[in-house]
Structure 1
Amino acid sequence: MAYQFVDPKSVGAQQKAFSSSMNAHIQSLVKHLQGYCSEQEGLPLGQSVSPGNPIQEWSVDSNNALIIDPYRTMVAESVEHARDILFSRYIGVEKPSVRHQQLRAVKKRIQQAYGESDLIAPLLRRNPTVKSVGMAKHFDFSVSEEANVFEISMAFNFAKDNAKDLLNEVDAWTWKVTGIRDGSGTLLLDGQSSISINRHVSIVAAIYPAESEQQIETYRKATQEWIELGVEVVDLESINDHARQLEDRIRAA
């Protein structure tokens, strides 16, 4: 093993010189970065607009069901890696779960039953925009002609185990239905046109039925207000029969 004694005074002098050099480089970098800094002018929001307004609108739109996740720490190798993780978690397309497939089955059955009807198909709209209370919201389907809305509908999956999320979803939609029943519903069409929705319009909740006892209990809690609001519940296996009833209403109009 080779070794050599070093003069401590010499080492201390080298460290001091290195520290002095590093400090000089750091100060130079700070001055360089400060050159890119400038004061940013605020946005002229005006008297009727404030940063809190969007939050208030979201709160009304979701019937006070806003959920803010707790603070979490993410470990990533780089900023790019962190970006990819966030994209995959919140934006990226995930493989459909069984519950998503069940909900899609309900929508597909409606699309098929209504689309095969010569009376309903020309009047059918997918993902129509409905304005009632709060911000406008997309329903799953509407059936309407020039000045008359026959039906608006939304699909729900009651075979879910997460009762809290499902109840929040139902509450937000029920809040919209309440606005329609109060006479404030409007079906927004392409461009600037719209159709006023009669407060007695047929509102349908097409459902994938509950399976377990816990899910059945969640269904009972979720649909208590629907009875008072006159929401018609149509399960997956009854959609074809409901389509024939809708045809009869269109003929009678």
Structure 2
Amino acid sequence: MLLVGAPTTLLAAPSALAQALDPGRARGADLGSLEQLMAQTLQGELGDEATARQLASHIADAGFRWEYPSFPVREAESVVAYSFGYRSATGKVDPRTGLSDGEETPEAGPINAMLADAVHAIRQVRDVPVYAQWEIAQILAEKYRMKDVFAIFPVKGADGRKTYLSTDGVAQAAVARAGTAQALGKVAVVGHRDHVKRCILVSRKHGMTAAAAREVPLPVHYDPRSAQPWTRGREVYLLSDVIAQLTMAQARLITEASA
């Protein structure tokens, strides 16, 4: 776990015996207490108990729950792999997108090499099709000579400029390439350890039966030379991911309110 609960100065911590016997349950108890404390605090600020509980639930889900669903690797029927940053030879990038300038050919970088290793580990067990963002697909081709890999590249906008695909865009492209989400079968999602929870949420939003492969470790390292500034360090990335998760929750609420 990245975050295991609130400080003991704020919450009544479980006993040492309870933690030793069932650390997962202890963490869950801490988080439940923290969510209750957030709800109480927000109620005092807003004067609205129902809204306070709802906001506390969204904040807890996005900011404090970093576990992700998984299934045995032998059950995988396809792989969808989401990249994490890349390198730029010139170091000149558009800060809004992280895309390199001009005609430069970006480099996949070390984190995507680790993600390619994770895909390879799955393919060692299950010979299934792989839908991978270009950085990972490039390494799968060069290092492993892997076949049956469908690469997902940036797309050109109406103005002719390349647009780096978001997590949502990669999921859409994978489904489009397969024909339907159902055609993908049971999807083993590969992504950076701090990104994979949202990768799975987004994959499921697009209809995939998605989770991580339980036996395959995912990279938790960061590349300080990444061309995407938000993927250079853990603090800035986690804040970015929390914001993205909250934005997804906001979009769901807007959709429900518009129905």
TM-score when normalising by structure 1: 0.23
User: Higher strand proportion, which one?
Assistant: 1
Determine which structure has more spread, i.e. the larger CA radius of gyration.
1
TM-score when normalising by structure 2: 0.23
